[in-house]
Structure 1
Amino acid sequence: MRVDFAGGAAEWRRKHGGGRGQGVARACGLKGGATPRVLDATAGLGRDAFVLAALGCEVDLIERSPLAAALLEDGLARAALDAEVAAIAARMRLYRGGAAELLANWPGARPEVIYLDPMFPDTRRKSALSKKEMQAFQAVVGADLDADALLAPARALALERVAVKRPRHAPLLAGLTPAYSLEGDSVRFDVYLPG
């Protein structure tokens, strides 16, 4: 397993993924010419962060899993050497550590948007398994059992919104009703206002 921002699925999504019409872009407020500064507090393999950076956003990524952080670091280093994606990778900065602690003591400028896509226990209604790569990643990283605890510090730090990606039928993060939701076929983006 490796993070490849220059080829494969990342390349396809960059070229054909739908631009600012994608759910993650709409949830993070990319409309018109707006390209907010985004903090992806649960970076994982960096796929959504890369989409946002490809659309022009400055994106800070937090990853607490040493393995996932190493994969991201390697992927960003290789992307920096690729002429097609080097400028995109330059808009992404990786922070290693726990999101709750970093959100409470953020060292940089406050982001307009905080994006959360936590792993969680499997609650799917269907028996189909996720792709092999994601199964392996989930086996190593595990579920984010403290995901509910991220919403309050994220809302305290964000200037404009907190966007939370969830499976379509998953319970609300921390049991809190969002300002609004954007629903797709399999995922839902819940948008919370700061405060």
Structure 2
Amino acid sequence: MSATWIAVDQPDFRDRVRQLHLPLACLDGHWSSQGQDQAGLKAVLEWRDGVVQLRPLDKELGNPVTVDFIHGKTGFRFMRAQHEMIVKAVAGRSKDPLRVMDATAGLGRDSFILAAAGFAVTAIERHPAIACLLADGLDRARYSPEGAAVAERIQLQWGVAHSILAQLAESERPDVVYLDPMFPERTKHALVKKEMRLFRDVVGDDMDADALMEIALEVARKRVVVKRPRKADSVAGRKPGYQLLGKSSRFDVYPV
């Protein structure tokens, strides 16, 4: 299978990856010069103007994807985190600060909102390009007056969530495991957002979500929370203990 993305091999970008405490090896097999044959490529991961970005090669997919927790919609949401449905789903009736593992972190928006609500969050992301975007966004948030305290409550781990969860010591088990798996879309309205179209080209779907669900149920101390499209099937065919419903999505909650 041909590569769908490359990382632009420049000294400044390698320095940035080291600064973000990510292993350079995470981009092995993807480092390349911009001059290479781009047939089959969908996107380019690069360090430009002080930001790590994933630039689509198809102009119809819009602007490069970056992670910015402070401005725009994410900035508005984290400032009112206690009102977010995800916070209510993760917290349940607990008033105590919880340890949460976001096992499918992606661009980290949910992780940041959970951290803004006061939870200690471990964000796990296995795709190297997305992990670089997330690490860069978290690092910049740490240097902002609005986001510094929130970003400090998030620990990013690059790796496969299945393995990380399975190897946790008893003392490391989180109170809550949060999952937002990406499944193949089945409706004619799929892939409306340009960013999501790019994600599917570069990242693909989470075909092993059922297995991750089973591991999460074994590890979580209090509950597993799964975000799903409102009308989608439940993960692994498991009926949740209860649900929180939004306009387009829902949160399935599995007490353990």
| TM-score normalised by structure 1 residue count | 0.92
CA distance in 2, matches of 1:165, 1:35: 21
Larger strand share, 1 or 2: 2
Q: Does 1:146 align with 2:187?
A: no
Q: Does 1:36 align with 2:98?
A: yes
CA distance in 2, matches of 1:123, 1:167: 11
Give how far 1:129 is off: 3.9
- What are the ranges of 5 or more consecutive residues in structure 2 without an aligned counterpart? 1-64
Give how far 1:132 is off: 1.4
Change in 2 beyond 3 A, CA 1:58/1:30? farther
Contact 1:123 1:170 in 2 (8 A): no
- What are the ranges of 5 or more consecutive residues in structure 1 without an aligned counterpart? none
Give how far 1:20 is off: 2.4
Contact 1:20 1:30 in 2 (8 A): no
Q: Which of the numbers 139, 145, 157 marks the counterpart of 1:83?
A: 145
Q: Does 1:55 align with 2:117?
A: yes
Give how far 1:123 is off: 2.2
CA distance in 2, matches of 1:192, 1:30: 11
Q: Deviations over 1:56-92 (max 9, x none)?
A: 1110011010011010111111111112101100000
Query: What is the DSSP-based 3-state SS (H/G/I as helix, E as strand, rest coil) of the residue aligned with 1:121?
Result: coil
Q: Does 1:181 align with 2:243?
A: yes
Range that drifts further, 184-193 or 88-97: 184-193
Give how far 1:23 is off: 1.5
Contact 1:53 1:88 in 2 (8 A): yes
CA distance in 2, matches of 1:13, 1:134: 20
Higher RCO (C-alpha under 8 Å, 6+ residues apart): 1
Q: Does 1:120 align with 2:183?
A: yes
Give how far 1:30 is off: 5.4
CA distance in 2, matches of 1:172, 1:101: 23
Contact 2:120 2:154 in 1 (8 A): yes
Contact 2:77 2:84 in 1 (8 A): no
Aligned length: 191
Query: What is the DSSP-based 3-state SS (H/G/I as helix, E as strand, rest coil) of the residue aligned with 1:82?
Result: coil
Q: Does 1:92 align with 2:158?
A: no
CA distance in 2, matches of 1:131, 1:173: 23
Give how far 1:127 is off: 2.2
Q: Does 1:12 align with 2:47?
A: no
Contact 2:240 2:253 in 1 (8 A): yes
Give how far 1:138 is off: 2.5
Give how far 1:161 is off: 0.1
Stretches (4+) displaced over 2 A: 30-35, 126-130
Range that drifts further, 178-187 or 22-31: 22-31
Contact 1:110 1:157 in 2 (8 A): yes
Query: What is the DSSP-based 3-state SS (H/G/I as helix, E as strand, rest coil) of the residue aligned with 2:91?
Result: coil
Query: Considering only aligned residues, what root-mean-square deviation do their CA atoms show, in Å?
Result: 1.6
Give how far 1:128 is off: 6.1
Partner of 1:166: 228
Query: What is the DSSP-based 3-state SS (H/G/I as helix, E as strand, rest coil) of the residue aligned with 1:28?
Result: helix
| TM-score normalised by structure 2 residue count | 0.71
Larger radius of gyration: 2
